[in-house]
A and B are shown apart, each in its own frame.
Chain A
Amino acid sequence: MSDSTAGAPGASALPGAASAGSSPPRAIVAGHGDFAAGLISAVHAITGRGAELIPVAIHDLCVQDIEHLLRDRMLNTGVRVIFTDLQAGSCTMAARRILRGMDDAVLVAGANLPTLLDFVFADGLTAPDAARHAAERGRNAITAHGAGT
């Protein structure tokens, strides 16, 4: 298995993320291509809190290896929240399998930048509650403008 995690085991490999090292990881971000690293980079640029998110990339991994990779990251870090990119994506499928035996974990599929921004600022909530709140915020943050609207 080739571990293609970008910056694992934490986000400290992201440019500038080490300076925000006081906050422990609170969630994993996983998805196609460089989705995770890109979104976390954006979160860090805006908030300086990219280190709260662990990027996972899945290039060239089979389903079983994706599941093992995500499960290892969760067990090694104690994180119980996973954000993924696509409802039908391999990361989402793997995360659903993991959640089957992990009652205290939360999966948010279809995450976007507003979702993650809301999550990292939800200091007063537990990570699972913050994830649910962030999912709602991310859903409502999508708008269309122009062409007669």
Chain B
Amino acid sequence: MTLLLYRIDDRLIHGQVVVGWGQPLDITFIVLVSDEVAESEWEQELYRMAVPPEMSVYFHTAADAVPALPRYRSATGRGILVTGDIATMRVLVDHGGVDTVNVGGIHSGVGRVQRLRYVFLSLAEEQALRDMAAHGAKVTAQDVPGARPVSLDDLIAGVEP
């Protein structure tokens, strides 16, 4: 399998992921990394029901995703990895060799300030994105394939493309 996109999206598996990215990238599987979902059979079934029958979904905690990543990268198939928050993706950047990060959707919340139409960040989240970039990951924001990627500097400055 090959992982073609590493995405932070608090909606996890939804239309933009399954259809917006999934169809043009011809995705055959999704790796959902979320401690909360990985511990709930009911949540996992909910997300399985959301994808076409020919698409597989694999669930991991942040900790057990790290050793599993090489397997997803080396076998046949085309996949998207999704985390629901920045902290989880940072674990994968720091310990799992993730070198490109797509910020796809982080919505309003306590302490967050809007940076783009679909991205709201707290100061701690902003720093975490900077830390990922300092670690060598290319961090951009892009909700759908047809949109222009926004650099990390422009994302933090709130510069819409």
Contacts and interface: CB of A to CB of B under 8 A. Distances in A.
Given A88-B51, A92-B50, A97-B46, A62 B17 contact: no
Interface centre among A2, A87, A88, A97 (most CB of B within 10 A): A88
Contacts of B17: 88
Bin the interface of chain B by size: 20 to 34
Contacts of A87: 49-50
Interface of A: 1-2, 32, 60-63, 65, 86-90, 92-93, 96-97, 100
Nearest to B12: A63
B50 A62 contact: no
A9 B50 CA distance: 28
B108 A1 contact: yes
Given A60-B118, A86-B19, A88-B18, A2 B108 contact: yes
Contact of B46 (A1, A89, A96): A96
B95 interface: no
22 contacts: A2-B108, A60-B107, A61-B107, A61-B108, A62-B10, A62-B11, A62-B107, A62-B108, A63-B10, A86-B19, A88-B14, A88-B15, A88-B17, A88-B18, A88-B19, A89-B14, A90-B11, A92-B50, A93-B11, A93-B13, A93-B14, A96-B49
